Amino acid sequence: MLSMIQLIWNTMKVFFTFICFTLLFYYGLLWLNEEYQDFHRYDEPEGRAVKVFEAYYEREEMNWVDRLKLFYDIGE
Ordered by start, the domain boundaries in the chain are 2-39+50-74
Share of the chain above pLDDT 70, in %: 86
pLDDT band of residue 44 (cuts 50, 70, 90) is confident
Distance CA 52, CA 72 (A): 22
Contacts of 62 (CB under 8 A, 6+ apart): 56, 70
Average confidence score pLDDT of the chain: 84
Handedness of CA 44, 48, 49, 50 (dihedral sign): positive
